[in-house]
Amino acid sequence: MSRVVILGAGVSGHTAASFLRDWLDDSHEVVVVSPNQVWNWIPSNVWVGAGSMPMKDVIFELEPVYRRIGVDFRQAKGVAIHPEGAGENDRPFVTIEYTGQGKDGSSEEIAYDYLINATGPKLNFGATEGLDPEKDGNTVSICTHLHAQHAAEKLDESIARMKAGEKQTFVIGTGHGMCTCQGAAFEYIFNVEQAVREAGVRDMARFVWLSNEFELGDFGMGGMHIKRGGYITNGKVFTESIMAERGIEWITRAHVTRIEPGRIHYEQLDGTVGAVDFDFSMLIPPFGGVGLKAYDRDETDITAEIFAPNGFMKVDADYTERPYEQWRAADWPRTYQSPLYPNLFAVGIAFAPPHLISKPMKSVNGTPINPTAPRTGMPAAMMGKAVAQSIRDMIHGADSPTHTASMAEMGAACVASVGTGFLKGSAAAMTVYPVVPDFEKYPQYGRDIKLTFGEVGLAGHWIKRILHHLFLYKAKLKPGWRFIPE
């Protein structure tokens, strides 16, 4: 009998848990530890935050779903990993602290045979002064369902002010020079713009896109070249054209230094220091590891051996420091197994990338300003499934991981909403292959241009809406869920 413990129930963790429970017989245990009692389909938070979807449509309770399939669910957060056990206990275990189930604040040690770190990120609002929507209240967020609901309420207030004759400035983008998830902010600014337009007050609104991207369309993937209408164009032109059509201004190459009520201060790569006034702002925070610690058998702290300085877990990647020009697609992990402990894995945002995808840059003042690598959505689910397959096979006798899911060997499809509505909606439907550019295999563009393309239109919105329902159906593990692709 083996016990698999999964820390986190986001896309990666939930995917791994679902498949492991489906593939393993009842003699094996699957334990999921998550501080949240609900599962949130985060990609649709953009619609909640724009007031076009109720919060209840993007969440569901985790415990009933896990109880139905026989997963042991603990509403708690992982605190420390003991991969060698401790003292006379030679079995590895993880220490958790409960955040619900009537056990708030109490701790427990859970032994494991295999551990998957799928904790996702810490939303590091504290990295930028004044960015925290709960502590500071200057800006809003769509990173959680509750944040998105609050954002919708603030948007309603801004629309009401415009209807009363008061002009409003909307600033949406990234709140730090090292942010990722530009795509979520990209979707949000277009959905907010549409909400304002449909309210009949577009002439009262100014929209500004504020981003750490070197050029529009970077998205933390070093930009892209896409096939569109039989022609090849770059992501910069593709993105700028959509922004220009909607009358959205943009400020790029920017690191937000601090936020005051109604004013955002920023520094750009060329050393320019500027500020933009706002009435409504949503800025994505930088991500960090959740703060898991690690200890050996003698209780010596080995956190720095298992985790990178940013708090994400080291896996089977090549972390050798080298110049940007020497980075390779082959540096990226394939199995997501710890190089120190073969029964320890990390997936989704929880694993430490070997390097950026976009070129690293610093301002003339030495401030890093470049997007960090995205590891969410479709790639995260594929990682979770691959690791679940490997653990299944290792439980059944395999000596090492049997499945891989390298971001340098997989493609990804993204349907980015630029407005909702059955007849008025629109979305940018894009595919990239591979996610991490491979200039050894594809020397001209780094990607297979036949499999990297993008189009904008109403059909894309229908696809995104259908995917919303399909993925929630799959996540709820309803009949036939296995046949819906990751």
Half-sphere exposure of 245 (CA within 13 A, CB side): 12
CB-CB contact of 195 with 47 (8 Å)? no
pLDDT at 461: 85
Q: What is the DSSP letter of 130?
A: T
Residue 143 belongs to some domain of the structure: no
Please tell me the predicted confidence (pLDDT) of residue 323: 95
- Quote the pLDDT of residue 112: 98
Structural domain includes residue 119: yes
Contact 315, 352 (CB under 8 A): yes
- In the prediction, which pLDDT does 49 show? 98
Cα three-residue angle 220-243-282, rounded to 5 degrees: 65
Domain that holds residue 293: 3-123+287-395
Question: 385 CB contacts (<8 Å, ≥6 apart)?
Answer: 15, 16, 19, 403, 405, 486
Residue 366 inside a domain? The answer is: yes
* Residue closest to 23 by CA, chosen among 11, 13, 15: 15
| Beta strand residue intervals within 331-463, DSSP E | 344-346, 412-417, 427-432, 453-457
- Cα(130)–Cα(109) distance, rounded to whole angstroms? 37
3-state helix, strand, coil in the chain (%, to 5): 30, 25, 45
What's the pLDDT score for residue 155? 98
DSSP reduced 3-state for 388: helix
Strand, helix or coil for residue 303: helix
pLDDT of residue 451: 82
- Residue 375, in any domain of the structure: yes
Indicate whether 409 belongs to any domain: no
Provide the pLDDT for residue 474. 97
- C-beta of residue 420 within 8 angstroms of C-beta of residue 195: no
Count: domains in the chain: 1
In the prediction, which pLDDT does 232 show?
83
pLDDT value of residue 143 = 96
Q: Give the C-alpha separation, 105 to 341, whole Å.
A: 29
> Are the beta carbons of 335 and 390 closer than 8 angstroms?
yes
Q: Which of 6, 2, 39 is nearest to 388 (CA)?
A: 6
Q: Torsion over CA of 241, 247, 248 and 251, rounded to 10 degrees?
A: 80
pLDDT at 223: 82
Nearest to 213, CA basis, from 221, 204, 202: 221
pLDDT value for 234:
82
Q: Does residue 338 lie within any of the structural domains?
A: yes
Q: Where are the alpha helices (DSSP H) in 137-181?
A: 145-163
For residue 209, what pLDDT is reported?
98
Contact of 213 with 253, CB cutoff 8 Å: yes
Residue with tokens 């976009």: 358
Residues β-bridged to residue 95:
80, 109
Contact 427, 219 (CB under 8 A): no
| Residue 316 lies inside a defined structural domain of this protein | yes
Measured CA to CA, the distance from residue 359 to residue 218 in angstroms comes to 10
pLDDT, averaged in runs of 10, over the chain (486 residues):
97 98 97 97 96 97 97 98 88 96 94 97 96 96 97 98 98 96 92 96 98 92 77 83 95 98 97 97 96 96 97 98 95 98 97 95 95 89 97 98 96 82 80 91 91 80 91 96 90
Beta bridge partners of 282: 140, 172
- How many helices (H) and strands (E) in the chain? 9, 24
Residue 147 belongs to some domain of the structure: no
Q: What is the CATH number of the domain that holds 314?
A: 3.50.50.100
